[in-house]
Amino acid sequence: MRLRNVVIATLFIASASAMAQDSIKGTYNGNFELQTNVGPRKMGLTMVIDSVEDGKVKGTATFQQGSCRGDYPIEGFVKGDTIGVRSTSKGGASGDCTFGFRGKIEGNRLVGNMGKYEVEFRK
């Protein structure tokens, strides 16, 4: 009887984890404040999470303006309520920009940092 309960609990946890990972798929919009020589400027971002499988995340991040404007393929991880992604290639006008985000999943928000910049993405 105990073994049966352990098996059922394990299947339930695995199923709940898979459903939680699927729930983060989607399009998130956000911004961060960049200090420029003419003052602070909000930089728009979009992150699309296309797939989450076995804790591995894949998608695309987009800088909407500035010298790093463009799309960046991203890969990373999700573990519990923590997510981390990085671009798999460089982009931008000079080809030297990257994208990286690490944060927490809070419902329909991803809250964390891109290096020294605080970012909040909303679905």
Phi and psi at 108, nearest 5°, equal -95, 20
For residue range 51-89, list pLDDT tens digits in order. Answer: 999 999 999 999 999 889 999 999 999 999 999 999 999
pTM for the predicted model, two decimal places: 0.79
* pLDDT the model gives residue 3: 52
Identity (one letter) of the amino acid at 114?
A: M
The domains found in the chain, sorted by start residue, are 2-122 (2.40.128)
Q: How far apart are CA 79 and CA 32, in angstroms?
A: 24
The residues, any chain, with a CB within 8 Å of residue 23's CB and separated by 6 or more, are: none
